[in-house]
Amino acid sequence: MISSTRRDLFAGVAGAVALPGLVSTARAADRKPVLRAAHITDVHITKDREAPKGVAAMFEHMFGQKDWKPDVVLNTGDTVMALDGKVSGAKAAEQIALWRDAAKACPVPIRACLGNHDVWDGHEPTDAVPETKKRFALMTEALGMPSDYYSFDLNGWHVVSLNSVGDWPKYAYLTPAQFDWLKADLAKTKLPTVVLSHVPILSVTSQVYGDSCRKEKANEVPGIWHHLDCWAITEVFRKNPHVKLCLSGHMHTCDRCEYRGVWYVCGGAASGAWWNGSEYGFPPCYGKLDLFADGTFSYEFADYGWKARKWQGKELKG
């Protein structure tokens, strides 16, 4: 049974929309979950735009509730504003220090995957940030990840963290080695499984992210908006029905869809429009996830009330 509710958010604010409500496969609302997780994505922390204050407000909201507190935080990437491109080692270190300081407000473990802005190109290395840490090494270390893709078990659930940028600078697909690893990893367990990726494996929001994909009389979704190998990955999931849920970010907008018994949730962005307000009307938010022993779950988007600078996202004019 799928149930949903809606809450009106940012009432009276121009360009605002309501966040999607609750999606739940759980069969009884009064059961206790075996695991509660907060889903954060696209934090994009920077010293500018009051981002550290925004992250602090998110964690305060997350752990200040009386009836819901997470056991773990699942972070689907783009934790820092941007390490990619011509970002020096000193600037990369500055962003990482901001995240580490902000994460001190989180009293539970944070398990992460990499986003496309979490890859350092090795520009202007320093003694503290040497060129040997370019590509994935710098942020896997900063985020406490054992590797750029990995898995673990927690409270009766299996969690897979994929690397959507494994073929950097090309991205939005799995490398052959990672694809083989995914098949082998899922074959080793029968625990209900949640999969983390930065780029959505499947999404609705990639079809409605403005008009960028409109090409004459056809819709052509840009290859970096959701996984190019989505069909192949969903075929793997079809052969492993213990995969129940996939969490992602990247698009800064919220959606959820179901295909072949697997739910796909794009978690918006903790930063909204990169700390400049709402992106296409979606405010800064995180997800509240309850996971049950029988493989069912419930997920709710949570607006944590951050009032950023004047909205600078995108909208249809006229």
Cα–Cα distance measured from residue 207 to residue 226, given in angstroms and rounded to the nearest whole number: 10
pLDDT band (50, 70, 90) for residue 3: very low
309, pLDDT greater than 70: no
Report which of 109, 113, 95 is spatially closest to residue 44, judged by C-alpha positions: 95
Task: For residue 150, report the phi and psi dihedrals to the nearest 5 degrees.
Answer: -170, 175
Going by pLDDT thresholds of 50, 70 and 90, the confidence category of residue 303 is very high
- Which range has the worst mean pLDDT, 66-75, 159-168, 216-225, 253-262? 216-225
Task: Output DSSP code: residue 120.
Answer: B
Look-up: residue for tokens 């990437």? 77
pLDDT tens-digit map of 47-66: 999 999 999 999 999 999 99
Q: What is the pLDDT of residue 314?
A: 66
229 vs 163: CA distance, rounded Å: 13
Fold (CATH) for 33-303: Purple Acid Phosphatase; chain A, domain 2 (3.60.21)
Residue 61: what pLDDT?
97
Taking only the tens place, the pLDDT of each residue in 101-157 is: 999 999 999 999 999 999 999 999 999 999 999 999 999 999 999 999 999 999 999
Q: With 70 as the cut, is the pLDDT of residue 7 above it?
A: no
Question: In this predicted model, what pLDDT tens digit does every residue of 251-290 receive, in sequence order?
Answer: 999 999 999 999 999 999 999 999 998 888 899 999 999 9
Query: Would you kindly state where each structural domain of the chain is located, as residue ranges?
Result: 33-303
Which contiguous run of DSSP H or E holds residue 110?
A: strand 110-112
pLDDT computed for residue 310 by the predictor: 58
Given a contact cutoff of 8 angstroms between Cβ atoms, the answer to whether 52 and 45 are in contact is: yes
In the structure, what pLDDT confidence band is assigned to residue 218 with cuts at 50, 70 and 90? confident
